[in-house]
Amino acid sequence: MAGGNVSENETGLSPSFRDPKKQVLGCEHYKRNCKLRAACCGKLYTCRFCHDKASDHSMDRKATAEMMCMHCMKIQPVGPICSNPSCGELLMAKYYCSICKFFDDERTVYHCPFCNLCRRGKGLGIDYFHCMTCKCCLSMKLVDHECQENCLETSCPICSELLFTSTASVRMLSCGHLLHSACFHEYVHGARCLNFFLFHSVRHTLAITTLAQVVANLWEIIICRTSKIIEKGINPSVIPVYNAVGMTRKMMKESCRKQ
């Protein structure tokens, strides 16, 4: 690679690789020819995920004003090409969004003006559409769907990542729950309610936790909207879980059935 105009001894002022053996520039998350200078701390990282992994704060990608070309090491205003004549107008990536300050040299990406985010796909009206009620982009296969306002403003019940800003594809179950498609395939072998897995995952925590006497016997019945209502005393499956303030709940439920 061409020599740069900065010292590689300084933090981040050196190239990073998506594939070190083949010398493909980027990181474990993206293939690209540049690093971003985080507006929050002034440090150089290949992407916001790399920044957040190494920092105690999150990076606002849209606030990025500078980048570093990893071919010539020149720090310059963020943009689609390197401004250094020696790089011959080298593209930083095949896709660049001037709003999100996002670069991607591998995947097909589009910017949704309603979500104000870049998302994977060919574009609105092609393979995705934006639902104004759900306030998110959905596959064209879901044109006829039951709207849930702000449905992606929640976390995946398996990995806990916020779905709205997630880069992974999201799946909507027939019961209305949303989660990552990969999480669905890994943990769910059928269209069962994700609460089924959530409740069992907290049993161990409850078993080793001593509750205050004042809340130890407090409980309520919660039933998924697509589960069959089970009357108390008809051999229900009772699974205790915590609510937001630490009380114990006994949940009586069945798995969501395919509709």
Element holding 43 (H helix, E strand): none
Q: What is the pLDDT of residues 84-112, one digit of tens each?
A: 999 999 999 999 999 999 999 999 999 99
Question: Taking 70 as the threshold, does the pLDDT of residue 131 lie above it?
Answer: yes
Q: Are 17 and 23 in contact (CB under 8 A)?
A: yes
Torsion of CA 110, 118, 109, 97, to 10 degrees: 80
Q: Please, is 100 exposed, middle or buried when counting C-beta atoms within 10 Å of its C-beta (0-12, 13-18, 19+)?
A: middle
Angle subtended at Cα 194 by Cα 192 and Cα 197, rounded to the nearest 5 degrees: 100
Question: Taking 50 as the threshold, does the pLDDT of residue 250 lie above it?
Answer: no
**What confidence tier does 161 reach under pLDDT thresholds 50, 70, 90?**
confident
Question: Where are the chain's structural domains?
Answer: 17-104, 109-187, 195-252
Dist. CA 120–CA 211, nearest whole Å: 45
Count helices and strands (H / E) in the chain.
Answer: 5, 16
User: Is residue 204 helix, strand or coil?
Assistant: helix
Q: What is the pLDDT of residues 189-216, one digit of tens each?
A: 544 455 555 555 555 555 666 666 766 6
Instruction: Pick the closest to residue 26 from 17, 13, 14 (CA basis).
Output: 17
Q: How far is CA 238 from the centre of its chain?
A: 32
Q: How far is CA 102 from the centre of its chain?
A: 15
